A = this chain, B = another copy of it.
Amino acid sequence: MNFQQLRIIRETARRDFNLTEVANALYISQSGVSKHIRDLEDELGLQLFVRRGKRLLGLTEPGRELLPVVERLLHDASNIRQLAEHFTRKDEGRLAIATTHTQARYRIADLVSQFVREFPKVRLEIVEANPQAIADRLLSGEADIGIATESLGEVPELVAFPFYRWRHAIVVPHGHPLLALPAPALADIAAYPIITYHEAFAGRRRVNEAFRLAGIVPNVILSAVDSDVIKRYVELGLGVGIVSPIAFDPRRDTQLQQLGGTPLFPENTTVIAVRRGHFLRSFGYRFIELCAPELAGDAVRAAILDDDR
């Protein structure tokens, strides 16, 4: 048993049991992949993968049991390397943030520029993805920190910290009839076509929920991943936009206006999430602190690393 074999096992499960892909992903020859799998299976005395002829189809029962242990082991190996770098090059390295478009474009932009000034030697990677993909990236170790509004808090392998709370805002073009109402209700809004986020995003579920509770079926004519896309189509007069308020800036979005009145949608909490037991470099903790000053100090570190062992 060696690390390479375990890496191959993990990658095989991730790459849908296509050994050629595994070989490419790990920059090794495909024959080596085959042999390593066979060797490890021989050593353990059991089959990890279900085969039909020469093709691999999936994990066997023992394979399913073993995989989580293999993943934890490899994660610890990566932690060891991270920890070493942490001591040798305190302010150098890589920090991968996975987040949604809206956060990347609006909420964390200033924080990122501040972070880059503070840590010029850190390679900062910001990957945009939907909340599910963000969670996957955190779990696989591709990303260090995830920021999103939905679902991250529900994954048990992740630790989520509250970042900020917000409610959806409603934006319309100038002169829109809704602007004449002092306190527009959901029913008023639903009289127009709706443009808002895609199902997997930014608290879209909360929007749906509010309409469902009011017994209204809104006419959502366009769902987008991206606040800018939404605003653009609202500008074009295609409908009423329901967006995150951080994506609306009266000075820049001169063709749009935000509706006033009482809150119509439930509150959302955007969270910062890290995989449990993931070793974050000190600048990673600093990034979290830049996001939310109250998330400073050892409490965050303890929450991430405390694994009861």
| Residue positions of A touching B, CB distance < 8 A | 1-3, 44-46, 61-62, 65-66, 69-70, 72-73, 76-77, 79-81, 83-85, 87-88, 156-157, 276-277, 279, 307-309
Q: Could you tell me the distance between the alpha carbons of A3 and B6 in the complex, rounded to whole angstroms? A: 12
Q: Could you tell me the distance between the alpha carbons of A84 and B307 in the complex, rounded to whole angstroms? A: 25
Closest B residue to A88 using CB positions: B45
Closest Cβ–Cβ distance, residue A219 to chain B (whole Å): 44
Q: Could you tell me the distance between the alpha carbons of A98 and B45 in the complex, rounded to whole angstroms? A: 29
Instruction: State whether A156 touches B73 (Cβ < 8 A).
Output: no
Other A-B pairs beyond A44-B81, A66-B84, 5, CB < 8 Å: A45-B84, A46-B84, A61-B87, A65-B83, A72-B76
What are 9 A-to-B residue pairs whose CB atoms are below 8 Å? A2-B3, A45-B84, A62-B83, A62-B84, A66-B80, A66-B83, A69-B76, A73-B76, A156-B308
Point out the residues of chain B lying under 8 angstroms from A81, CB to CB.
Answer: 1, 44
Q: Could you tell me the distance between the alpha carbons of A308 and B44 in the complex, rounded to whole angstroms? A: 27
Point out the residues of chain B lying under 8 angstroms from A309, CB to CB.
Answer: 72, 157, 276-277, 307
| Most B Cβ at <10 Å: residue of A46, A277, A307, A309 | A309
Point out the residues of chain B lying under 8 angstroms from A72, CB to CB.
Answer: 76, 309
- Per assembly, the copies of the chain total 2
Point out the residues of chain B lying under 8 angstroms from A69, CB to CB.
Answer: 76, 79-80, 83, 279
Closest B residue to A84 using CB positions: B44
Closest Cβ–Cβ distance, residue A143 to chain B (whole Å): 17
Q: Could you tell me the distance between the alpha carbons of A84 and B60 in the complex, rounded to whole angstroms? A: 12
Q: A69-B83, A307-B308 are in contact. Are A46 and B77 (CB under 8 A)?
A: no
Closest Cβ–Cβ distance, residue A274 to chain B (whole Å): 12
Point out the residues of chain B lying under 8 angstroms from A87, CB to CB.
Answer: 46, 61-62, 65
Point out the residues of chain B lying under 8 angstroms from A2, CB to CB.
Answer: 2-3
Closest Cβ–Cβ distance, residue A41 to chain B (whole Å): 9
Closest Cβ–Cβ distance, residue A215 to chain B (whole Å): 41
Q: Please list the 5 inter-chain residue pairs (A to B) with the smallest Cβ-Cβ separation, ordered nearest first.
A: A44-B84, A73-B76, A62-B87, A45-B88, A276-B309
Q: Could you tell me the distance between the alpha carbons of A308 and B157 in the complex, rounded to whole angstroms? A: 7
Closest Cβ–Cβ distance, residue A6 to chain B (whole Å): 8
Point out the residues of chain B lying under 8 angstroms from A79, CB to CB.
Answer: 69
Q: Could you tell me the distance between the alpha carbons of A85 and B87 in the complex, rounded to whole angstroms? A: 39
Closest B residue to A277 using CB positions: B309
Q: Could you tell me the distance between the alpha carbons of A46 and B81 in the complex, rounded to whole angstroms? A: 11
Q: Could you tell me the distance between the alpha carbons of A46 and B88 in the complex, rounded to whole angstroms? A: 7
Instruction: State whether A80 touches B1 (Cβ < 8 A).
Output: yes
Closest Cβ–Cβ distance, residue A304 to chain B (whole Å): 11
Point out the residues of chain B lying under 8 angstroms from A65, CB to CB.
Answer: 83, 87
Q: Could you tell me the distance between the alpha carbons of A87 and B85 in the complex, rounded to whole angstroms? A: 39
Point out the residues of chain B lying under 8 angstroms from A62, CB to CB.
Answer: 83-84, 87
Point out the residues of chain B lying under 8 angstroms from A307, CB to CB.
Answer: 307-309
Q: Could you tell me the distance between the alpha carbons of A73 and B46 in the complex, rounded to whole angstroms? A: 22
